[in-house]
Structures are given as C-alpha cells and as structure tokens.
Structure 1
Amino acid sequence: MHHTRLFDSYICLDPSMWWDNQALLKETKRALETRRFHGTSLYLGIANTADEGMDVTRVLTDTTTATLHMRSALQLQRYFEHNQQNGLKYRGKYYQDDSHMSVPFIAEYEALRFLFGAERK
C-alpha cells in the first residue's frame, strides 16, 4: 500500500494483517476504496490457521484472538473482492488444507501462474 509503483505484480501469502490492532488492514481498506491500481496485479493466499473444528464461517464471526490472524486475512480478501472499481487485477484463494508454514509452496506456484498468464483455460 505504501510503494505501489515499485512493481507491477505482488504476491501476498498469509499476511499478518492482525498486527498492531489491524493498522495495515484498515489502511489497505481505505486505499482500495480511494486509490487506483490500474496495471497492478496481486495474488493473496490465505492459510487455514484456525483451530481444528473451526470453519470459515465460525472464524469470521469469532471475536477471540485465536482467530484474529485468519479473520483479518479473510477480511482483506473481502476488501479486494468488493473494491474492483480501483482497477487492481486480483485473485485470492483460501487454502483449507494448508497451514501458515505449508501455504507458500502451493500458493506461490498458483500466484505465478496467475500473474504470468500460464493458467489453463
């Protein structure tokens, strides 16, 4: 959000949007609503960091610190999906079967395919 002209493409893997009382999440929301990102692409990969037995619906309605990391990343995904007027070429995916440590392997591969057009039709 701070240096948007450094690159044309970005990969964001299971970001810590919860940090500092969600400061970066709030800043990102404002930027997505007010700024333009034409010519910029971003891929967001979200890991399943919830306790066993918690599904996405329960995570989103939970208010404990145990789900804050995942809840914040899912909120970020929702901001990207609901602010398409800003011109950002965006794709995100929640990886239900991957943890914070394993998600980079699969998400980086899928991000590169998205960013460089190597996806199968």
Structure 2
Amino acid sequence: MERDGVAHRVPVRFWSEPWDVGGSLPDNIDFSRAQCNAIILLYDDAMAAPEVKGLWEEYVNAIHQKMEERGNVDLYMAFGDPAGAVPLRPDQNRGIQYARREIGRSRSVQKGWRHTYFFIQFSKFVII
C-alpha cells in the first residue's frame, strides 16, 4: 500500500501446513518477531474432526496463553466453520465469539448488504 508517496508494508506469515511429517498442526508462532501480532483463525470442518479437535484446542490455548504473557498486545480473531461446528474450547472459555461466514452471506442477500469491513486498529496505524 502506498499513501502520500510512502510505502506501508505489513509482513504476513501464513501458517497452515503441518511442520512435522504426519502431523495436523502448524509450527508454533514466534510472537517475538513483531511488537503486535494479528492471529486470524479460520476454523473449518477439518479442525473440528474428533480425531484432531483436541490437538487444535491445545494449540489455540497455547496461543492465548502466550498473548496473555505478552500483556494482550496481540489481536486474535476467529472465523467459524460454515457448517456450524462447535467452537474450540479455549475460545469458548474466554467468551470469544466466532465471526460466522454463513450468516454474513445469508444476511447480505436478504438485506441487500454489499460489503462487510473489519477494522483492526493498533496504536499507530489501521489495517482495513
């Protein structure tokens, strides 16, 4: 993005492929690589499967613990499974509501909504 001749960049790391052969989870996130991190969980039916859901709950709980250790300077946002799977326990225990993709689609058709915007505001800049 460029504004007033000044380029702004936000490094993005995409964590989804398992880092160990035969594993289900991505590598742990190195929170020290940034002053503020935005963790966006895209929860789906593969993560909700009974054979791996417990592993994902441990992984997400570790993310929350690390964020709490850092003084809650990081942002966590979760998008729910379109099929309506029950959210992960660490998120439920913290009262985190998942953004529900299927509701947004149905409301946009019913009420004529055109766009949905998510604003993530940090102390010195806004990502839109």
Q: What TM bracket, shorter-length normalisation?
A: 0.3 to 0.5
* Structure with greater contact order relative to length (CA < 8 Å, sep ≥ 6): 1
TM-score under structure 1 normalisation?
0.41
Structure (1 or 2) with the greater helix fraction: 1
TM-score under structure 2 normalisation?
0.39
